[in-house]
Amino acid sequence: MNITWLGHSGFRIEIEAAVLLIDPWLTGNPMFPADRRDEALAGATHVLLTHAHGDHASDAAAIGAEKGVPVVCVHEVSEWLNAGGGVETIGFGKGGTVTLGGAKVTMVNASHSASVDFQGTLLPAGCAAGFMIAGEGHVIYVSGDTDIMADMAWMAEYHQPTIGILSAGGHYTMDMDRAAFAARKYFNFRTVIPCHYKTFPFLAQDAAPLRAGLRPGVELVEPEVLVPIRF
């Protein structure tokens, strides 16, 4: 299994027979090298969206259409994408599980706003979410944009994720200290990967406070763009 950062909150996860592109914002992403787009998208089987904000979703329809793969997201966003035509979608809701290339993806709660805020529009767009992704003996928690939530307690107990991909840049989401608190209080992670940081000056630029706040024995991996993290 490989987890590869695409910058900001974007990830490429190769698991089971699936290649999942999570929130693949590439166009205009200052962290992403535009000349390596083909590499990032190679073999993609699905696009997954945590929510419809432009720094997560603005490339989703174009990538889905280009690669001929479905965009998997909350029902309301799937309906909005369907109205535009040209892309297949799989819409579902919190608590729902879809099987994608042998990987089981469950939508879980996130505490964040949700709207379409690109293409000259500002429209309601369902709700923000995270994902539990299970396969190859691993469960990955993709937090999406969120603050700490009491829901993390039951989510951790029920799904038992050992890898956490946590928004931690602050300003719009948890900061590094809050992400460390969430990981320490609610989860039994073996590995934590921060995201939604470094992209802009007002976001956290390094993960030192997160590293310092984790329990002993939990590995913090600061990802590098397009460098696979192998499990």
Segment 2-18, tens digit of pLDDT? 999 999 999 999 999 99
Q: What confidence tier does 121 reach under pLDDT thresholds 50, 70, 90? A: confident
pLDDT at 66: 97
- Helix or strand holding residue 209 (H, E): helix 208-213
Q: Which pLDDT score is estimated for 84?
A: 83
- Does residue 116 have a pLDDT over 90? no
* Distance from C-alpha of 214 to C-alpha of 210, rounded to nearest angstrom: 6
**Residue 119: is its pLDDT beyond 80?**
no
Tell me the pLDDT tens digit for each residue of 57-102.
999 999 999 999 999 999 999 998 998 889 999 999 999 999 999 9
Q: How many angstroms separate the most distant Cα atoms in the chain? A: 49
DSSP 196: S
Terminus-to-terminus CA distance in the chain, angstroms?
A: 5
Query: Residue 220 and residue 211: Cα distance in Å, rounded?
Result: 6
**Average pLDDT in the 183-190 region?**
98
Nearest CA to 89 out of 81, 97, 101 is that of 81
- From the centroid of its chain, how far is CA 75? 17
Contact by Cβ (8 Å): 197, 164? no
Please give the domain boundaries of the chain with CATH numbers for all domains: 2-223 (3.60.15.10)
pLDDT band at 223 (very low <50, low <70, confident <90, very high): very high
Q: How many residues does the chain have?
A: 231
Interior/surface letters 36-58, b for 16+ CB within 10 angstroms, e for the rest:
ebeebbeebbbbbbbbbbebbbb
